[in-house]
């Protein structure tokens, strides 16, 4: 019997270009594949990009990695305060 599990993209972080790139790198180091969405907007119009704002850069992971990715993001956010 084969199981067919669909994998869905999930946004785990939103911020400016620099923050999103750092989070992506940390996730990759934790062996979690991550992608950036809207990174061009972060470069073209950085004044519109604020954490969770209208033009923020998003870090996306597979839903199967969500729990581990949230831990990495939480650690990053803790060090930024």
Using CA atoms, how far residue 13 sits from 5, 28, 33, 61, in Å, is 24, 14, 14, 10
Burial profile 27-55: b = 16 or more Cβ within 10 angstroms, e = fewer: beeeebebebeebebbeeeeeebeeeeeb
Question: For position 1, what pLDDT does the model report?
Answer: 45
What does the pLDDT look like over 48-81, one tens digit per residue? 555 555 668 899 999 999 999 999 999 999 998 7
Question: For position 70, what pLDDT does the model report?
Answer: 98
Question: For position 52, what pLDDT does the model report?
Answer: 52
Q: Please give the model's pTM, rounded to 2 decimal places.
A: 0.80
Question: For position 62, what pLDDT does the model report?
Answer: 97
What does the pLDDT look like over 12-30, one tens digit per residue? 999 888 899 999 999 999 9
């Amino acid at each position: 019997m084969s199981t067919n599990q669909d994998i869905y993209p999930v946004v785990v972080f939103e911020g400016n270009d620099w923050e999103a790139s750092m989070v992506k790198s940390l996730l990759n180091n934790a062996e979690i594949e991550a992608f950036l969405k809207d990174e061009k907007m972060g470069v073209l119009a950085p004044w519109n990009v604020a954490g969770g704002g209208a033009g923020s850069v998003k870090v996306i992971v597979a839903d199967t990695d969500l729990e581990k990715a949230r831990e990495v993001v939480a650690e990053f956010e803790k060090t930024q305060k």
